[in-house]
A and B are shown apart, each in its own frame.
Chain A
């Protein structure tokens, strides 16, 4: 059943994609189109991964404020990257770039985030304050560790690390993109099958168990899938802390039902819209290259503050 709101979002996204691809097209059209199409695919993929993973994460943890990246995921990514530069040297680090490193990054991120989540989930569900505190502390820990590692790195190699510090859609490798797409589709298929059960998970553990859900196992599986999605997107373009928060909040606002068959596609579409329009406007109209991530962080950060200050907790 095609929902009206989803249809509108979908049409909007199509229009945005067309604008992104064809606006101001001149010169060798075939070549430029190919470049743009690759970038567009990366934007859509990352958007869908971030949007869906955030909605699922918030449902499982029973809160609307925390997202995987706010929980220190991005800082973990930076730490791993700077450790790699430290141990292999700037040149070695650049040389390893390729499908193998991408898979390694993804695997590492998944393992680490899963550890993080289980640690926090132990007794913490519903205890929002404890989770926020833990998230902030863990994020801080990883950031200081990263700062420490950066001190040890040769100043001349510092720029290599700096490049991965902010998300960039500038140079996305097509092979990596293909691997990421396959991973994403597999994970998405799994999450989609669990979408109705997610509605029940949102009721909280007691109600969910009472209704016959294998809650503990399901929560683990869901968090594993979330880690996979976040890992894919972080390894592909780098950390985007607040995009997920922004998108999940918008998705809940637009769909206005707790049904995940609507929420999940809405989050994916909205994230795509934000990224494609944002990147399109910055590149095509303003001629700027790399400021989108900063803008998203700015507005996402504001929203985070608003939510934490207790604007609308539900």
Chain B
């Protein structure tokens, strides 16, 4: 479980997160939803120690993020940020290989190569492994970075808008893949999702942020109601039950 307690964050005079307290349950997928600028990426960055915590506390399976050695944390959680991109000319295979760094620190062994193969295969990247990143499409690029996070083989996987740039096929494949990992692989996933229908279809738990505060949280069936979503996004949103799942009709 990841526990967040009394987390506040300010940049300059702007308060981005206000005294946020919530839990991310282990085993399963938690989707973070909320309007642009709600503080979703900021929360992720704080949980993954990319940004130092100012006030409050984050614990991951009982280990305080601020106090645990960063090398050890890298074997517990992997993060793929919203804005990825590298300055150097990298091949897909090399990039995914870097995901194994926390386990070998520069001297890859057989098990590391095997993990890279698995991650490449999982994201349809085996054929692209020798291509340079700047010669890929946006979606292929996105998949390469997620594969790198997957190759890290950590208990926790934090993904900031992983569905960006992905076509329907690959978005669905990614969600199915993550779902399988969380069921059979014993991994827990926290992801920021903008398409509520993906969250409704695949997530076990929903966390909604609004202006740096918790708007609501709970199981998708319970919290994804027309009333709550309309208030969260400030627009008229219809929710219908289709195939036993809440389905958002935002074009209605």
Contacts and interface: CB of A to CB of B under 8 A. Distances in A.
Interface in B29-53: 48-50
Interface in B102-155: 102, 105-107, 134, 148-149, 152
A43 interface: no
Contact of A197 (B73, B106, B149): B106
A212 B71 contact: yes
B56 interface: no
Contacts of B98: 199-200, 203, 207, 211
Contacts of B75: 212
A202 B98 CA distance: 11
B84 interface: yes
Interface of B: 48-50, 70-75, 78-81, 84-91, 94-95, 98-99, 101-102, 105-107, 134, 148-149, 152
Contact of A258 (B71, B90, B105, B107): B90
B102 A211 contact: yes
30 contacts: A63-B87, A126-B87, A196-B105, A196-B106, A199-B98, A200-B101, A202-B87, A204-B85, A204-B86, A204-B87, A206-B50, A207-B81, A207-B86, A209-B50, A209-B70, A210-B74, A210-B78, A211-B74, A211-B101, A211-B152, A212-B71, A212-B75, A212-B102, A214-B70, A252-B89, A256-B89, A257-B91, A257-B94, A258-B89, A258-B94
A314 B134 contact: yes
Contacts of A209: 48-50, 70
A59 B88 contact: yes
Contacts of B94: 257-259
Contacts of B149: 210
Interface residues of A, number: 27
Nearest to B79: A210
Contact of A206 (B72, B81, B107): B81
Nearest to B76: A212
Contacts of B90: 258
A279 to B, nearest CB: 31
Given A211-B99, A314-B89, 17 more contacts: A62-B87, A203-B95, A203-B98, A204-B86, A205-B50, A206-B81, A210-B74, A210-B80, A210-B81, A210-B149, A212-B73, A213-B70, A252-B89, A256-B89, A257-B94, A258-B89, A314-B88
B186 to A, nearest CB: 21
B86 A202 contact: yes
Contacts of B134: 314
A126 B88 CA distance: 12
Given A258-B94, A314-B134, A212 B70 contact: yes
A258 B97 CA distance: 12
Interface in A123-162: 126
